[in-house]
Amino acid sequence: MITLSRIGQSIHSSPTLKINEKAAQLRAQGESVIHLGGGEPKSCAPFGAIVAASNLLNSGEIRYTPSAGTPALRKAIVDYTQTFYRQEITPKNVIASNGAKQAIMTALLAIIDPGDEVIFPAPYWVSYPEMVSLCGGVSRVVNPESGYIPTIKAFEAAISPKTKAIILNSPNNPSGLTYPESLVSDLVQLCERRDLWLIMDDIYHRLTFDGYPMLSCFDYAQSFDERSKLVVINGISKQYAMTGFRIGWAVASPVLIQAMNNIQSHFSSGPSALLQHAAVAALTGPQSSVESLRLTLQNQRDVLVDLARSIPGLKVEKPHGTFYSFIDFSAYEKSSHKLAEYLINSVRVATVPGLDFGMEGHLRISYCGSMKDIVEGFRRISWALGADGSDEIEIGGKRVRRAECIK
């Protein structure tokens, strides 16, 4: 009999990866699937990054690197932090990891003891609760009284003697909203006062719209020195459309970085030499692809919001950034899993249930695919919800009759 550990039994697979698999499976069976559940831009990686990686590959000399990342990549991250955060740091403040995901996980492993509590607001990125569980920690979710932004008082009320850290992701996956500057600055100061770690997950920070500013949490800190408990996470995945390259990083005090480096050195060693090389080229090369992606996403966001708002009963907050919208469908169906299942089964539209992000009644709908997919996806969703009044719809060349009316 196979007996798994507590962790082996209790950690769930990522719901977003599960949705990708289901969509791919249906497509392989020839079904016309519209994937609005994705978490990656569809543009190409910057040309310079591809050339850099292929040149290194052709050399055949692809070796281990220092476990915290190559000097060139750490230097590029130092410069990035200066440019986008106006904060001077040194390579001792930097560790490069296999994606921002590993940077967050390694930071938590270095901070959290079993039983320690980690606070984050809902809606939250699906991986935070599982990462905290992997460390033996306990998640404390702060729910907004209304909307998607909790007050500083709600964070304060969630702090207990066991609290070790707060995680904030802005702009937020899944809501697409940025937290107000006053909340970010209050949180930085609250964490300083209460001696808590603050992990800022800034993976989407360059993908904001309508002039929403890129905040630098360092601006609100008393100082950023050896004793600082501020951890800033970022990476190349989203801004450079380089999700598959798996390079992310953390900026923190040298004490934490050293501990993370010790953990990473036994866990995975440094990220792939090839992909670190590509990341350096992306970070130091022309930045026009980021701006072009940002403008494309802003345009797609506008179309999506208009389409969603044209369906009676849906509540839609206009995202400030990212490529996600978090739409309240509860007027039609309160169970987000039931609704997501219904949409994929009846009209072949893939979405991610809000419950996986800690908020029932919502679906996360991505706009990082093509404009055609967004328009077609909403044509199908509107029909599935019974909003367009017709009894039949054409899907991928087939006429489909209403399978089941939700309301």
Which residues contact residue 397 at a Cβ distance below 8 angstroms, ignoring those fewer than 6 apart? 32
- In the chain, the amino acid numbered 24 is A
The least CB distance from residue 382 to ligand PLP, in Å, is: 27
Choosing from 235, 271, 321, 361, the residue that interacts with ligand PLP (CB under 6 A) is 235
Question: Do strands 117-121 and 138-142 pair parallel, antiparallel, or not at all (unpaired)?
Answer: parallel
Q: Which residue of 185, 243, 258, 287 would you call a contact of ligand PLP, by CB under 6 A?
A: 243
272 is an interface residue for ligand PLP by CB under 6 A: no
Decide if residue 203 touches ligand PLP (CB under 6 A).
Answer: yes
203/233 Cα distance (integer angstroms): 7
Residue 39 binds to ligand PLP (criterion: CB under 6 A): yes
H or E segment at 24? helix 15-28
- Of 338, 337, 358, 349, nearest to 384 (Cα)? 349
| The one among 69, 99, 129, 353 contacting ligand PLP by CB under 6 A | 99
Residue 399: CB minimum distance to ligand PLP, A = 37
Q: Between 35 and 101, whose beta carbon lies closer to ligand PLP?
A: 101
Q: Are 50 and 240 in contact (CB under 8 A)?
A: no
C-beta closer to ligand PLP: residue 301 or 348? 301
Q: How far apart are the first and last CA of the chain?
A: 46
SS3 (DSSP) at 85? helix
Min dist CB 170 to ligand PLP, Å, is: 9
Total number of residues binding ligand PLP (CB under 6 A)? 13
- The reply to whether 170 sits near ligand PLP by the rule CB under 6 A is no
Examine residue 100 and tell whether it contacts ligand PLP (CB under 6 A): yes
Minimum Å distance from CB 205 to ligand PLP?
Answer: 11
Q: How far is the CB of 252 from ligand PLP (least distance, A)?
A: 16
Phi and psi at residue 357, to the nearest 5°? -105, 10
Check binding of 239 to ligand PLP (CB under 6 A). no
Residue from the set 201, 328, 356, 376 that interacts with ligand PLP by CB under 6 A: 201
Q: In this structure, are residues 362 and 327 in contact, taking their beta carbons and an 8 Å threshold?
A: yes
Minimum distance between the CB of residue 366 and ligand PLP, rounded to whole angstroms?
A: 10
The window from 95-103, 130-138, 178-186, 312-320 that contacts ligand PLP (CB under 6 A) reads 95-103
The set of long-range contacts for 253-257, using a CB threshold of 8 Å and a minimum separation of 24, is 253/93, 253/224, 253/225, 253/226, 253/227, 253/228, 253/229, 254/92, 254/93, 254/226, 255/226, 256/107, 256/110, 256/111, 256/231, 257/68, 257/92, 257/93, 257/94, 257/95
**Residues at the site binding ligand PLP, with contacts judged by CB under 6 A:** 39, 99-101, 125, 169, 173, 201, 203, 235, 237, 243, 248
